[in-house]
Chain A
Amino acid sequence: MATTYRTCPISGMQFEDQAEKLMRWNAVAGVLWLLVGGITALLVILTRWPAIKLLPADQFYLILTAHGIDMLILWILFFEMAVLYFASSTLLRCRLATPKIAWLGFWLMVVGGIVTNVAIFQGESSVMFTSYVPMQAQPHFYLGIILVAVGALLGTCVFFGTLVVAKKDRTYQGSLPLVTFGALTAAIIATFTILAGAGILIPTFFWSMGWIKEIDAQLYRMVWWGLGHSSQQINVAAHVSIWYLTAAVLFNAKPLSEKVSRFAFLLYILFLQLASAHHLLSDPGMSAEWKVLNTSYFMYFAVMASMIHGFTVPGAIEAAQRRKGYTNGLFEWLRKAPWGNPVFSGMFISLVSFGFLGGISGVVLGTEQINMLMHNTFYVPGHFHTTVVTGTTLAFMSITFLLVPVLFRRELILPKLCQIQPYLFGISMSILGLVMMGAGTLGVSRRHWDMAFSGAPFQYEWPGAAYLMMGLTGIFGVIAVIGGGLWILLIVGSLLFGKKLDGGKVSDKPTPIPVDTAAASAVAHGSDHQPVPGTVILALLLFVTFVLYYFVNWKYLSEVWLLS
């Protein structure tokens, strides 16, 4: 199939025509789902804010279901498809394998997303993102998700195929770039995640059609989380790859050690799947041995991997900055970083918030006994709004500021607003996560319409601090929605009204990555043995916070009723 290759004059990156179109369509589709997800987010927030309590109960549960599906599945998966095509075709400078299949995958995802949303908004499928049986949704609710999953699987296969094309056409020499390697781990995790999803959603679809009589509720939870949690690991692998990408593009940063970073990605593949077990820690059906073994992620190897990335990404930036001469004190490299560039500020807030808030809370939440203090409380969404939102979504948002000129060939409109957007969104969302965790620590339930329990035979009054936390959740939630809305406005506005930029030279042949770049002559060791004392201090700060918070929770646990 004839195709062309464009070399972007700004970045020097080479975009193959089909891959470029697919990336654009996937990214735009993702942004549209983010818009739906954002509107539902505002409605959810305004209902859970005790002083406002906007929606009636049935509409609240409907909107909350839509919010989960549209954000966690549709926004993120569409964007990830764009990331996969970028990490393969663009970074390896080759044509995309089987673009027709990639388009088929895209349209399956579009149709599936719409079908599921139709089911939700018809009102008979308010079963939440998790759709736990035996609560039943309409059959097309499940069918839509299955179509999305099949579409995503096709996209993933096209990614694998493109790696083969690059190897065959010899567009690069040696090993895959680290970012592509990270995307490959995301794609591998995606493959078995989607298979787990098929393993549970297809039977559930049959059950909703009446072809299967019963699905065991405990079994459903176990297999479903093979989908539900593992899909978050795709996100982690994808956004960590984007952190490395940002560091490489903005700072020309080399990984401190290719070996360490790549092994850390491998650890994700090997151990993250087991982490799904931490959703079942307060369930009756599994033994304590099973829970401890699985949630320790086999001795926390996956946690170790994230701790490694959390060190090597800022470490690589520090080494690059110090090489440029920012060597004063511990933190000149960080102070002199381009804080006015939203690509950097968004990425760095994503890194810090994911590590300090999302990462630590996730490990504490996933500790077998401590889970009893937090299971199904508001702590849980607090945790994942600091992983999948300030981690993944913010990383995706910040890289888009780079992609608008490079991929969409448009200048960003309103650059001042672009500068503040990552701060507005990242900081308010981080605080939102914190106050949600605060409310959860006080016991407030997630997915709950009414803190006052009106209609109940008894009264229970939450502590005043819980109401305070929920009020703050409302305030910072609204600010975060404004920050997210601003991003959509800036990006869509730039695509429509931004100044058109020169696309650069178009050729009908790919230009391979030159073999004899500085890379070949550089010493093997990425950091040139450049010490990174600032990063060491930051890492130790993370570690101390982690240890203190971890043991504080054991202290809380020791104060509740005795259980055995």
Chain B
Amino acid sequence: MSAILPPSDRLWWKQPIDKVEWAWIGIAFVWGMIMFAMMIYWHVYGKQNLSNEAYKITPELFAAKAEKFIAENTIRTETDQNIPVVKVPAGGDGYLIARLWAWYPILELEKGQTYKIHLSSMDYLHGFSLQPVNINIEVIPGYEHVVQMTPTKTGTYAIVCNEYCGIGHSWMLGRIYVK
């Protein structure tokens, strides 16, 4: 009977299922399997997979590693805040600090080179949102995430913070140059 009355057949689980319903269930199931397989396929053959490499770390330790990297590789400073522009060695490691409310430092990369970019936060959660490429990665305090990136185009890119981090969230903007 209708959906607000008890089913006419007490043993509803013994009812036969109509062909058209079976067909739809089959389509939904197969499609689910395809979508499942697609993620695995992309891990094997795709070129955009988020890195699994992450370590637990304290903000102090991460800041120390980043400062060392900045001291060794800074090529100039920019803006009236003298933000260092740091050239990441081709194929090497670069560090990017997320903190209230800045991405630090400015990184300079080369097109076609692969870099290991280490991301972590000093305080709250932040969101690494590379624009206009539109790659978005969560940045979490206490975790050092090592992401391998290969820029495919030259240009000046912005890092928008897209995880809410307080009153200065909207001016937390960073920069990456790709030469």
> Which residues of A are interface residues toward B (Cβ below 8 A)?
57-58, 61, 91, 128, 132, 134-135, 172-179, 216-218, 221, 244-245, 247-249, 252-262, 280-285, 287-288, 292, 295-296, 299-301, 303-304, 307-308, 311-312, 315-316, 363, 367-369, 372-377, 441-443, 445-450, 453-458, 460, 462-463, 513, 517-525, 527, 529, 531-532, 536, 539, 543, 546-547, 550, 554, 557-558, 560-564
CA distance A449 to B164 in the complex (A): 10
Shortest distance from the beta carbon of A258 to any chain B beta carbon, whole Å: 4
Shortest distance from the beta carbon of B25 to any chain A beta carbon, whole Å: 6
A57 touches B167 (CB 8 A): yes
CA distance A532 to B162 in the complex (A): 46
CA distance A520 to B20 in the complex (A): 25
Q: Quick one: given A307-B28, A369-B49, A442-B134, are A299 and B33 in contact (CB under 8 Å)?
A: yes
CA distance A84 to B114 in the complex (A): 56
B96 near A: Cβ within 8 Å? no
B138 touches A446 (CB 8 A): no
B165 touches A308 (CB 8 A): no
A560 touches B173 (CB 8 A): no
B98 near A: Cβ within 8 Å? no
B149 touches A299 (CB 8 A): no
B108 near A: Cβ within 8 Å? no
The interface centre, meaning the residue of B134, B158, B160 with most chain A CB atoms within 10 A of its CB, is: B134
The interface centre, meaning the residue of B1, B42, B114 with most chain A CB atoms within 10 A of its CB, is: B1
Residue of A nearest to B102 (CB): A457
A524 touches B15 (CB 8 A): yes
Residues of chain A within 8 A (CB-CB) of B102 are 457
A256 touches B18 (CB 8 A): yes
Contacts A/B (CB < 8 Å), 8 sampled: A57-B167, A282-B138, A288-B43, A376-B129, A443-B132, A457-B102, A519-B6, A522-B1
Shortest distance from the beta carbon of A498 to any chain B beta carbon, whole Å: 25
Question: Of B31, B134, B142, B175, which is within 8 A of A458 by CB?
Answer: B175
B90 near A: Cβ within 8 Å? no
B36 touches A284 (CB 8 A): no
Residues of chain B within 8 A (CB-CB) of A367 are 35, 38-39
A543 touches B114 (CB 8 A): no
The interface centre, meaning the residue of B16, B28, B124, B160 with most chain A CB atoms within 10 A of its CB, is: B28
Question: Of B2, B119, B135, which is within 8 A of A254 by CB?
Answer: B2
Shortest distance from the beta carbon of A397 to any chain B beta carbon, whole Å: 20
Q: Quick one: given A247-B3, A367-B35, A531-B20, are A560 and B12 in contact (CB under 8 Å)?
A: no
Residue-wise interface mask of B (102-129) relative to A, using a CB-CB cutoff of 8 A (1 in contact, 0 not)? 1000000000001000010001110101
Question: Of B14, B28, B51, which is within 8 A of A563 by CB?
Answer: B51
B27 touches A543 (CB 8 A): yes
Q: Quick one: given A376-B136, A519-B6, are A562 and B127 in contact (CB under 8 Å)?
A: no
Q: Quick one: given A563-B49, A564-B49, are A175 and B6 in contact (CB under 8 Å)?
A: yes
Interface of B is mostly: mixed
B84 near A: Cβ within 8 Å? no
Residues of chain A within 8 A (CB-CB) of B164 are 61, 128, 447-448
A288 touches B142 (CB 8 A): no
A448 touches B162 (CB 8 A): yes
Q: Quick one: given A519-B1, A546-B31, are A562 and B131 in contact (CB under 8 Å)?
A: no
CA distance A560 to B137 in the complex (A): 14
Q: Quick one: given A260-B25, A304-B29, A550-B35, are A445 and B129 in contact (CB under 8 Å)?
A: yes
Residue of A nearest to B111 (CB): A561
Question: Of B3, B51, B114, B148, which is within 8 A of A255 by CB?
Answer: B3
B67 near A: Cβ within 8 Å? no
Question: Of B31, B39, B170, which is within 8 A of A57 by CB?
Answer: B170
A449 touches B21 (CB 8 A): no
A259 touches B12 (CB 8 A): yes
Residue of A nearest to B178 (CB): A561
Question: Of B35, B141, B160, which is within 8 A of A296 by CB?
Answer: B35
CA distance A166 to B171 in the complex (A): 59
B73 near A: Cβ within 8 Å? no
> Which residues of B are interface residues toward A (Cβ below 8 A)?
1-10, 12-18, 20-21, 24-25, 27-29, 31-33, 35-36, 38-40, 42-43, 46-52, 54, 79, 81, 83, 102, 114, 119, 123-125, 127, 129-145, 147-152, 158, 160-175
For the complex with contacts A372-B48, A550-B35, 17 further pairs of A-B residues with Cβ separation under 8 Å are A173-B6, A175-B6, A179-B4, A221-B140, A247-B3, A256-B18, A258-B7, A284-B137, A284-B145, A299-B29, A311-B21, A367-B38, A368-B39, A373-B135, A462-B131, A561-B48, A561-B135
A218 touches B39 (CB 8 A): no
B160 touches A518 (CB 8 A): no
Shortest distance from the beta carbon of A219 to any chain B beta carbon, whole Å: 10
Residues of chain A within 8 A (CB-CB) of B124 are 132, 134-135
A374 touches B20 (CB 8 A): no
Q: Quick one: given A445-B160, A450-B170, are A259 and B15 in contact (CB under 8 Å)?
A: yes
A460 touches B158 (CB 8 A): yes
CA distance A460 to B135 in the complex (A): 16
Shortest distance from the beta carbon of B23 to any chain A beta carbon, whole Å: 8
Residues of chain B within 8 A (CB-CB) of A299 are 29, 32-33, 36
Residues of chain A within 8 A (CB-CB) of B33 are 299-300
CA distance A560 to B152 in the complex (A): 8
B13 touches A561 (CB 8 A): no
Residues of chain B within 8 A (CB-CB) of A296 are 32, 35-36, 39
Residues of chain B within 8 A (CB-CB) of A454 are 170-171
Q: Quick one: given A524-B15, A562-B114, are A557 and B48 in contact (CB under 8 Å)?
A: yes
Q: Quick one: given A175-B7, A175-B12, are A445 and B147 in contact (CB under 8 Å)?
A: no
CA distance A261 to B47 in the complex (A): 40
Shortest distance from the beta carbon of A92 to any chain B beta carbon, whole Å: 9
Residues of chain A within 8 A (CB-CB) of B50 are 281-282, 288, 368-369, 372, 563
Question: Of A221, A311, A562, which is within 8 A of B24 by CB?
Answer: A311
Residues of chain B within 8 A (CB-CB) of A244 are 3
Shortest distance from the beta carbon of B45 to any chain A beta carbon, whole Å: 11
Residue of B nearest to A244 (CB): B3
CA distance A256 to B21 in the complex (A): 8
Q: Quick one: given A519-B8, A563-B135, are A455 and B48 in contact (CB under 8 Å)?
A: no
Residues of chain B within 8 A (CB-CB) of A373 are 134-136
Shortest distance from the beta carbon of A433 to any chain B beta carbon, whole Å: 19
B31 touches A547 (CB 8 A): yes
Shortest distance from the beta carbon of B118 to any chain A beta carbon, whole Å: 10
Residues of chain B within 8 A (CB-CB) of A252 are 2
Residues of chain B within 8 A (CB-CB) of A455 are 168, 170-171
B3 touches A284 (CB 8 A): no
Shortest distance from the beta carbon of A265 to any chain B beta carbon, whole Å: 12
Residues of chain A within 8 A (CB-CB) of B3 are 177-179, 244-245, 247-248, 253-255, 261, 316
CA distance A295 to B147 in the complex (A): 21
